[in-house]
A and B are shown apart, each in its own frame.
Chain A
Amino acid sequence: MMDPVKITIDGKEVITAKGKTVIQAAAEVGVAIPHYCYHSKLSIAGNCRMCLVEIEKMPKLQIACNTQVAEGMGVLTQSPKVLAVRKAVMEFLLINHPVDCPICDQAGECQLQNYYMEHNREASRFEVGKQHDRKKTIFGPNVIFDGERCIKCTRCVRFCQEITKTNELAVINRGDHSTIALFNDRMLDNPLSANVVDICPVGALTDRDFRFKVRVWYLQKTPSVCPGCSTGCNISVETYQNQIARFKPRINDAVNSHWICDEGRYCFHELTGGERLTTPMIRQEGGLVPATWEDALQAVLAGLRSAKAAAGIVTGRSTNEETFLFARLMKKLRPGSPLEVCYQERELNETQKILMSPDRSPNFRGARDLGVRSNGGYASLLQKLLAGDFSAAYVVGEDLVGANGGGERLRAALQKLSFLVVQDIRLSETTKLAHVVLPATHFGEKEGTYTSRKGRVQKLNAAVIAPEGALQDWQIFLRLLDLAGEKLSYATPAQIFQALAGEVALYQGISYATIGDQGIQLGGGDVEQS
């Protein structure tokens, strides 16, 4: 800690540090000073005037966001002057606002609503004609703007200047004609664009994907980890009627700060959409036909055991607990068979690199640490598959032919296999080639852990319930192990994690309960693996 500084906040003594602002020092001791323009990750704008506080011995009120603490400073956040100015600022911010809360998507999570209730609660005295502005103006593929709801806090402008450095947004015009606009008409389509929606404290910027789908107070929020890539951004999976409605970033300064990328934010559509598989299937003459779990699992066992050479490929979205069991299963059934986790890289530009990793495999590092790795890696395994080195394969959670651009050559190679088992959530180009199809679950239905590219173990929580008929991937592996003669009594992913933590040196000493909502950094630090 830097030099300690003693101040008082509303009469209570507070020890803080030199260089802190009043708003920071207050927040540290649980005193929330209302604010709009201030954001801990952006430069100080000082324009909303909502955080004005009284500093003893200073004649004028001071903005808490730009006032540095000083020894002996007396801060009053609840004095009559302060309460009066908050009321006044709220009135100013609302006079030209349309107060269209019933049709505003921000309602329920709007700081104008919240602070009005906390700090004003008066009828409007404004009756001289509101200033109008542009409505539903498209700013970019993901963001739409309502100028009349905007309070000109400039958080969005500063985000595009300071975080993405892409400068799409600017304030134009003057006085109460001031508004936010696209600078030189260039669209707001940077890879982090939708974060401006999250930091907009009001209903001016809303999410084109989410808006009007659900009133936010109906959303259930589950802390989890983004499945989009291996950065491991912390997210809140927000659901309504057992459907994922949106992702929102969760703050984690060790990983993603306050942000998530747009690709991650909207990846749940691709990862969860489409018609779900709800029954196992076995290939008969003429095609795949529904089967019981018992028959399907027996068929998997028989198919894998009788093959000359087998390979296992698991998606990078499998949890540590799942890959741990998968590796164990394959070792039991086909010792020495090569196992791999799907991993492909793409080029990223500088703005993408702020958050995005080059892969789309959130748990590739975890899978490899748990033994899902072969000589030569994933690309080499695919080459061997194409070359016809294997007669059987177990593919978990990945559409190798369709989604991963494997194409016709891979389709042909998979068709030549004497046995292919595919475990996935929907009928894909790859499942169509399978001899046995096992209906499984996606990231949003799972509990477990992912290990990020930089070695941070973080927890997924089930946000929605899997459809009737599908099984959790870990349960499928457990049942197969059981049929193969290995009785394991894990009843939850937590128990599987404790088992792997006991076996895998890297995870030793970590208990599932202590991972919490912010994750735990593995030893070895920020070692990059690819």
Chain B
Amino acid sequence: MTMEKLLLRNIGVTDSHTLAVYQSRGGYHSWEKVVRNMKPAELIEEVKASGLRGRGGAGFPTGMKWSFVPKDSPKPKYLVCNADESEPGTFKDRLLIEQDPHAIIEGTLIAAYAIQSHTAFIYIRGELVAGAKILERTVEEACQARFIGKNIFGSSYNLDVIVHRGAGAYICGEETALLSSLEGGRGWPKVKPPFPATHGLFGCPTVVNNVETLAALPWIIERGAAAYAAMGTEKSKGTKLFSVSGHISRPGVYELEMGYPLKKFLEKDCGGVPNGRKLKGVIPGGGSMPVLRPEEIEKVNLDYESVQAAGSMLGSGGVIVMDETTCMVRAASNLARFYAHESCGQCSPCREGCHWMEKIFHRIELGEGQTGDLDLILNISGNIMGNTICPFGDAAAMPAAAFIKKFRDEFEAHIAEKRCTVSTQ
């Protein structure tokens, strides 16, 4: 893991969050280059060529997303930075917000320019109070330096950036729920079509990009799409941040070139499972993604395609490591409780199904599980999957099913013996 850092290049530098330090390290040169020398269409092509994909979890090609915004729409266009990082096990955006906020702002400006938006919003998770203050100060600094405002770099391009704090709902990380919330409404996902690219914020063309996606843009502009595309695999280009937590010797945020071997990463870079214990399971992409057993990660590389081939998803890059002392019933129950609590309640399968699954997981954990409970959960999760307005239903259903399928013996023992057979707690 001796590659050059793109996203974490300023992390650890004293006062990295200030404009002065950011500029001393080349900050805002990309922004100036974009405004002075690039047409929006060129910029979109450049980002398409880089192969950059959305880092919020879905991995949709960023340049392509921008290109869906109609150029001839008479309506205002909006760029929204999704800083509502809430996926269980994910804390990469928070690091960038707190330590390299100008990179996020610069990326936001570049993306806004690409779609010719004149108002950009940063929607930040309500609990990130310090982060919101930092971002506001960052925007203020960038305004004073005239990187934001009217006639930027003497051009006719104007842009405002508004920091908006969420009110603490996981669902508002879903882009259409985020837009509902930003509009002042209830944080409910919207039915699609229409899609945000044509009918987004206040019914206007809108692009929502994740913090990490945006933070990659200054480097791509500075060094060129080809340099970015030279890293990673055939379909997963560049680098990605991974938040590692759980039973691991060196938890934290790591930047890896796409395609880096998961096992090597955990054992060498993160120091492996501590206290001489054995690995039991890994969730590779945040709480919404299916858990993998140790034997399943042997050949997994950290890129979208490889993780998917192994039966999970790269998601947000939230890597949750569980050792042999982990009660998988408890882990599944804990996640189920999270999704039951966070379901927005809009559509029937998720509103009713998440709580139902949680209640069954809970009773198994309490030693009150019944024969048939496991098949019932699998059936409920199957009935939620694919049948909801937004991906939340899948996010709740996938891990529930995966825990049971992959650790069925442990669940059955829990039901049969009416107690936990793993944890000594």
Q: Do A and B come from the same complex?
A: yes
A residues whose Cβ falls under 8 Å from a Cβ of B: 44-50, 52, 60-61, 63, 66, 68, 85, 88-89, 91-93, 95-96, 125-126, 128-129, 131, 151-152, 170-171, 173-178
Q: Is the CB of B383 within 8 A of A85?
A: yes
B356's partner among A47, A49, A95 (CB-CB below 8 A) is A95
Q: Say whether A93 contacts B352, CB under 8 Å.
A: yes
B386-A61 in contact (CB<8A): yes
Q: What residues on A are CB-neighbors of B352 within 8 Å?
A: 92-93, 95-96, 176
CA A152 to CA B389, docked complex, whole Å? 14
Q: B347 near A47 (CB under 8 angstroms)?
A: yes
Whether A131 pairs with B347 at a CB distance below 8 angstroms is: no
A306 to B355, CA, bound (A): 83
Cross-chain pair count, CB within 8 angstroms: 91
Known: A60-B386, A61-B387, A92-B352. A46 touches B347 (CB 8 A): yes
In the complex with contacts A44-B191, A45-B191, A88-B387, A175-B356 CB distance below 8 A: no
Question: Are B359 and A128 in contact, with the CB atoms below 8 A?
Answer: yes
Of chain A, the residue at the smallest CB distance from B362 is A128
* B339-350 to A contact mask, C-beta < 8 Å, 1/0: 011111111110
Cα-based distance from A151 to B345 in the complex (angstroms):
10
Contact, CB under 8 Å: B356 / A128: yes
- Tell me the bound Cα distance from A174 to B351 in angstroms: 8
> Would B345 and A85 count as touching, CB distance under 8 A?
no
B-side contacts of A176, CB under 8 Å: 340, 343, 345, 351-352, 354-355
A52 to B386, CA, bound (A): 11
Q: How far is the CA of A131 from the CA of B387 in the complex (A)?
A: 22
Measured CA separation A48–B388 after assembly (Å): 9
Task: Considering the complex, give the chain B residue whose CB is closest to the CB of A131.
Answer: B355
- What are 26 A-B contacts defined by CB distance under 8 Å? A45-B191, A46-B389, A48-B347, A49-B349, A49-B387, A61-B387, A66-B191, A85-B387, A88-B349, A92-B351, A92-B352, A92-B356, A93-B348, A96-B352, A128-B359, A152-B348, A152-B351, A170-B186, A171-B186, A174-B344, A176-B340, A176-B343, A176-B345, A176-B354, A177-B345, A178-B351
- Is the contact region of chain A dominated by helix, strand, or loop, or is it mixed? loop
As a 0/1 sequence over residues 378 to 409 of chain B, the CB contacts with chain A under 8 angstroms (1 = contact) are 00000100111100000000000000000000
- Residue ranges of B at the interface with A (Cβ–Cβ < 8 Å): 169, 186, 191, 193, 340-349, 351-356, 359-360, 363, 376, 383, 386-389
Contact across chains for A92 and B360 when beta carbons are under 8 A apart: no
With A and B bound together, what is the CA distance between A319 and B363 in angstroms?
A: 68
Q: Which of A45, A49, A89, A175 contacts B340 (CB 8 A)?
A: A175
Distance of A60 Cα from B394 Cα, bound (Å):
12
Q: Contacts A66-B191, A92-B352; is A49 near B347 (CB within 8 Å)?
A: yes
Contact of B355 among A49, A63, A125, A175 (CB under 8 A): A175
In the complex, the answer to whether A175 meets B348 with C-beta atoms within 8 Å is: no
Contact indicator B363/A46 (Cβ below 8 Å): no
Q: Give the complex CA separation of A283 and B304 in angstroms.
A: 97
User: Which of B344, B347, B376, B389 has a CB less than 8 Å from the CB of A125?
Assistant: B376
Known contacts A48-B348, A92-B353: does B191 contact A174 (CB below 8 Å)?
no
> Chain A contacts of B389 at CB under 8 A?
46-47
Q: A48-B347, A93-B348, A176-B351 are in contact. List 10 more A-B contacts (CB 8 A).
A: A52-B387, A68-B193, A92-B352, A95-B352, A152-B348, A175-B340, A176-B343, A176-B352, A177-B345, A178-B346
A50 cross-chain contacts in B, Cβ below 8 A: 348
Contacts of A152 in B (CB 8 A): 345-346, 348, 351
With CB as the reference atom, state the residue of chain A lying closest to B190: A46
Which 6 pairs between the two chains have the least Cβ-Cβ distance?
A: A178-B345, A46-B191, A88-B383, A128-B359, A92-B352, A175-B343
Distance A402 CA – B164 CA, assembled complex (angstroms) = 61
Across the interface, which residues of A come within 8 angstroms of B376, CB to CB? Answer: 125
Given known contacts A96-B352, A173-B345, A176-B343, A128 and B388 CB-to-CB distance under 8 angstroms: no
| B383 x A47 contact (CB < 8 A) | no
A47 and B186 form a contact (CB under 8 A): no
Complex contacts, B383 vs chain A, CB 8 Å: 85, 88, 91-92
Q: Which of B191, B343, B353, B360 contacts A63 (CB 8 A)?
A: B191
Q: How far is the CA of A85 from the CA of B342 in the complex (A)?
A: 23
- B212 CB, min distance to chain A CBs, angstroms: 27
Residue on A nearest B347 in the bound complex, by CB: A47
Q: Which residues from A are CB-within-8-Å of B351?
A: 92, 152, 175-176, 178
Known: A92-B383, A93-B352, A175-B351. A129 touches B359 (CB 8 A): yes
A125 to B377 Cα, complex, angstroms: 11
Name the A residues within 8 Å of B347 (CB-CB).
Answer: 46-49
Can you name the residue of chain A whose Cβ is closest to the Cβ of B344? A174
Residue of B nearest to A47 (CB): B347
Query: Which residue of A63, A85, A173, A175 is within 8 Å of B354 (Cβ)?
Result: A175
For A49, give its contact among B341, B342, B344, B348 (CB under 8 Å). Answer: B348
Inter-chain CA distance A178–B359, complex, in Å, is 17
Alpha-carbon separation in the docked complex, A346 to B138 (Å): 60
CB distance from B37 to the nearest CB of A (A): 42
Are B343's CB and A174's CB within 8 A? yes
CB distance from A177 to the nearest CB of B (A): 7
Q: Which residues of B contact A170 (CB under 8 A)?
A: 186
Residues of B within 8 Å of A125, CB to CB, are 376
Closest to A94 in B: B352
B359: chain A residues at CB < 8 Å are: 128-129
- A468, chain B: closest CB distance, angstroms: 54
Q: How far is the CA of A360 from the CA of B327 in the complex (A)?
A: 72
Closest to B376 in A: A125
State the Cβ distance, B181 to closest chain A Cβ, in Å. 13
A89 surroundings in chain B (CB, below 8 A): 348-349, 387
Cβ B388 vs Cβ A49 within 8 A: yes
**How far apart are B346's CB and chain A's nearest CB, in angstroms?**
5
In the complex, A68→B356 CA distance in Å? 33
Cα–Cα distance between A50 and B349 once the two chains are bound (Å): 10
